[in-house]
Structure 1
Amino acid sequence: MRTLLAWLGAEAPFSEQDVLGLAATFSPTATTHVLAFLRRQGLLCPVDPALQPEDALQEIHAERRRRASDLGSERRNRRHEAAIAAKLTVLPHPVATQVQAWVRAMRGQGRRRHRAADYTRIRRNLNIVLPVLEAWTAAGLNLRQITTEHIHTELDQRQGNQARALHHVLRSVFAALKQEKVLFHNPTTGISLTTAVPVPTPLPSDRLRGLLDALDSPRARLTVGLVAVHGVRPLEVTRLRLDDLNLRRRTLRIRRGEDHQHSVHLDTLTLDLLAAWLTERHRNWPLSPNPHLLITSHSAHHPAQPPLSYCALRAAFDQTGMLPKQLWTDRVLDEARHTADPVHLVRVFGIHPHTAVRYVHAAHPDKALAKIR
């Protein structure tokens, strides 16, 4: 109101269009209140009686948010451009010009128009390849003089993810330069890196002996027991609800998406762990509205009724000195050692057939199974 009075004065009624013009500066709530007040006092002259002020306000603020987003994106892009230019100052002129051509191609400004890559991705790739470019320029080479042997030399000096990341960026750089006709030959053509697939490994038996006895609470014993005995994934343990437990049928329902469920048949040990935990849960929080099976003092009466947190889950496994993934892998691998049937693993643990075949291969390397199509 103060802005309107200072701008238009109080001698005549206010035009609704003038009030809406201030909506790009003030909050929607404040503008709506001002419009309602002026309308009640008979001090508002609507430009179009059919115009809904709320709709007009929404359009104005949507436009304001879009402009603010565009402005923020432009500022970020300018900062990224300055950072990339600063990194290229360490390179001599021929190589810096060639890398700039790669950046323009990545941004969709090359000979072939395509969707622009994000500046964050370009800077990350530049950080990966910059040490290699500096080494080549120190040897008096530019990118036109790089051969397949140079690529192999750099890749052989790295292993694992570092080698794969460098290989990916070098392919991007030389493919873009060939597209821009800066180079006549792509030295990365025909070079491929094999990706090692980790083989599941069992845990030593001495580490598993007395596993549950080392835990200090019924909740921790039940959490570890569901993973180590029944192969329930750690994240699924945190999401278990009370109505998933059927003591009469001795089953536990695992929800995996809207249309997929997996039933776990409980043994005597797990039933004892459940009885101990449910007794403690009822004793400590008898009126808890939280529907999840595993709760803490923080989540028992939390209004959002959250599931068990990751920190609470890890606290139980930290007492064993093992990660949840290690225990889950050991359980599935132990079952695979007793059977060479991947279908059995799918039924027991509800895992994907590809995962079941991989564990059978790890447990029985002498038995080759046909690939699943």
Structure 2
Amino acid sequence: MVDTAQIAMENGDQLWFARPHAAGLAVGRLLPGTAALQGRFALKRRRARARAASAPQPSEHLLDPAQLELFPAPPRDWSRLDTTRPPAPTSAAVALVADFTSYMRGRGWSTHSFNGSTRTLRIVTGHLGADVPIQESDIRALASTYPNLHGARVINYLRLRGLLDARPPSDLCTARARHHATAVTHPAFSTAVHTFIDVLLGQGSTSSRARSPKTVENYVVAILDTLEAWIADGLTDPREVTKKHIEDALDPLRGDKARRLHTALRSFFRALKRERLVFRDPARAISLSSTRSVPTALPSDRIAGLLDHLDDPRDRLMVALVAIYALLPGQLVHLRRSDLDRSRGRLRLRRAGRLDHVIYLDAFTLRLVTAWELQRHRRWPDSSNPHFFVTRNTAVDESGPSISAGVIQHLFQCVGLPAGRLRVDRIVDEARHSADPVRLMELFGLSNLSATRYVLSAHPDKKHDPITP
């Protein structure tokens, strides 16, 4: 009994005479111009051939964990992906997709709403397998190719499972600064700007404290127009810049524009001098006279009932920390859960290059803290983000990012008062009552010069003369 078509027949198998070719004998004669014979076996053969042709086959690009990399492979072009004939997934890929679905359900996410993430993981593991860590660049490239695919949650999940080959983190501010440096028309000045960026990032010939990427971008943008003007005037090297050139560049500017350019140029030539690209620093002896505004308080009617307009516990706590303890927006962004000591009512503020500042919370603020933590635990009970303030996106991100500065900026725009203005009002109000710069330094972590400025602003009758016996 031989099943020549390799299919299971509904009414049992046919008993054939020996040799497989006997089943292919024609019964009757096919006349010219007539159709092929139709029968039960011919139909089953066609269906079997169709199923065999349409059965998905394993991918030809499965990654082998035993295969060593001889050289870095070029990036894959996922735009040429054939989605009409997906490959057959391996057992490891099927198990990984099932575990990802369980992971999403455990996080409280709707699997129907995040089908794009599941589809992305299924496509990537179907073509590359699940035995070797997947490159982050492949997931991002695939997600950017099709609008119904999403890669952020897939990347976080694979990182959690140890199956992600993460690419080195890149900062947009640094990338833009490098792009500006490359766009400088003269190569000597372009090289100087790249060296300037290296020094600011702490990557110069002498180790130094790295500046923030945003500061690096601001410095580079501030000097670009001046460098291009010098190139247009015929300068071919930063060593040709003199004190007169810098004074001429600063002369038509006023206010903040003059201060920004003056600070950026001083930092620029100081970095070139340290890297020995210039013989002398032409900006060293240039000083810029500027008037510093006196801190003033806000009208009381603008502050009254400030928290009454807010319903979200997180927003109320943010505004309270600025209005009562004069925190900076950047300090709100980088606060961590470990910085809060609820039993002692203390909150630690981390300061780079300086001692940490500790503030003592009152009963009202502690109640706001409790309300926010209860809401956070209720909405995201499994969140592992270490930061104190989170959003619906950062709370479920396994990489633990901080909230963006735009979240705080939008909050205070809704309140109607800038955070910096509200902070200044709080310090000025304290200076009116205490008139003691040491107390301002202890409460708000100010420097001695800043604390003295606030006291003199609140008490104009006091003089700058030192205390004499």
- Structure 2 CA distance for partners of 1:127 and 1:260, relative to 1, 3 Å: same
- 1:282 is aligned to 2:388: no
Deviations 1:220-274 (Å, cap 9, x if unpaired)?
0000100111112221112111221122111111122366121111112101211
Contact 1:128/1:165 (CA < 8 Å) preserved in 2? no
| Local SS of the residue matching 2:347 | strand
Match of 1:266?
A: 361
Match of 1:294?
A: 389
Deviations 1:130-186 (Å, cap 9, x if unpaired)?
9xx9xxxxxxxxxxxxxxxxx99x96x864356678999xxxxxxxxxxxxxxxxxx
Q: C-alpha displacement at 1:129, in angstroms? A: 9.0
Contact 2:222/2:260 (CA < 8 Å) preserved in 1? no
Q: Distance in 2 between matches of 1:211 and 1:203?
A: 13
Q: Distance in 1 between matches of 2:258 and 2:402?
A: 40
Written as runs of structure 1 = structure 2, the 5 A alignment for 1:49-88 is: 79-80=185-186
Gaps of 5+ in 2: 1-68, 74-177, 188-219, 234-246, 264-285
Contact 1:317/1:323 (CA < 8 Å) preserved in 2? yes
Contact 1:357/1:369 (CA < 8 Å) preserved in 2? no
* Greater C-alpha Rg: 2
Of the three residues 300, 309, 317, the one matched with 1:214 is: 309
Identity %: 40
Q: C-alpha displacement at 1:80, in angstroms? A: 3.6
| Local SS of the residue matching 1:79 | coil
Written as runs of structure 1 = structure 2, the 5 A alignment for 1:169-318 is: 194-257=289-352, 260-318=355-413
Q: Distance in 1 between matches of 2:314 and 2:354?
A: 29
Match of 1:125?
A: 226
- Structure 2 CA distance for partners of 1:331 and 1:125, relative to 1, 3 Å: same
Q: Distance in 1 between matches of 2:186 and 2:389?
A: 46
- Structure 2 CA distance for partners of 1:336 and 1:77, relative to 1, 3 Å: closer
- Structure 2 CA distance for partners of 1:283 and 1:344, relative to 1, 3 Å: same
Q: C-alpha displacement at 1:208, in angstroms? A: 0.2
Q: Which amino acid aligns with 1:198?
A: S
| Local SS of the residue matching 1:346 | helix
Match of 1:106?
A: none
Q: C-alpha displacement at 1:364, in angstroms? A: 1.1
Contact 2:384/2:396 (CA < 8 Å) preserved in 1? yes
Q: Distance in 2 between matches of 1:308 and 1:123?
A: 31
- 1:348 is aligned to 2:430: no
Q: Distance in 2 between matches of 1:296 and 1:166?
A: 36
Q: Distance in 2 between matches of 1:163 and 1:290?
A: 41
- Structure 2 CA distance for partners of 1:214 and 1:364, relative to 1, 3 Å: same
- Structure 2 CA distance for partners of 1:346 and 1:212, relative to 1, 3 Å: same
Q: C-alpha displacement at 1:127, in angstroms? A: 6.8
- Structure 2 CA distance for partners of 1:209 and 1:307, relative to 1, 3 Å: same
* RMSD of aligned residue pairs (Cα, Å): 4.3
Q: Which amino acid aligns with 1:124?
A: D
Q: C-alpha displacement at 1:288, in angstroms? A: 0.7
Q: Distance in 2 between matches of 1:233 and 1:126?
A: 34
Higher relative CO (CA 8 A, sep ≥ 6), structure 1 or 2? 1
Contact 1:337/1:363 (CA < 8 Å) preserved in 2? yes
Deviations 1:268-289 (Å, cap 9, x if unpaired)?
2101211111111111011111
Q: Which amino acid aligns with 1:312?
A: V
Q: Distance in 1 between matches of 2:262 and 2:336?
A: 46
Q: Which amino acid aligns with 1:276?
A: A
Q: Which amino acid aligns with 1:362?
A: S
Q: Distance in 2 between matches of 1:310 and 1:356?
A: 26
TM-score, length-scaled by structure 1? 0.53
Contact 2:298/2:425 (CA < 8 Å) preserved in 1? yes
Match of 2:203?
A: none
Q: Which amino acid aligns with 2:462?
A: K
| Local SS of the residue matching 2:348 | strand
- Structure 2 CA distance for partners of 1:120 and 1:283, relative to 1, 3 Å: closer
- Structure 2 CA distance for partners of 1:364 and 1:290, relative to 1, 3 Å: same
Q: Which amino acid aligns with 2:317?
A: L
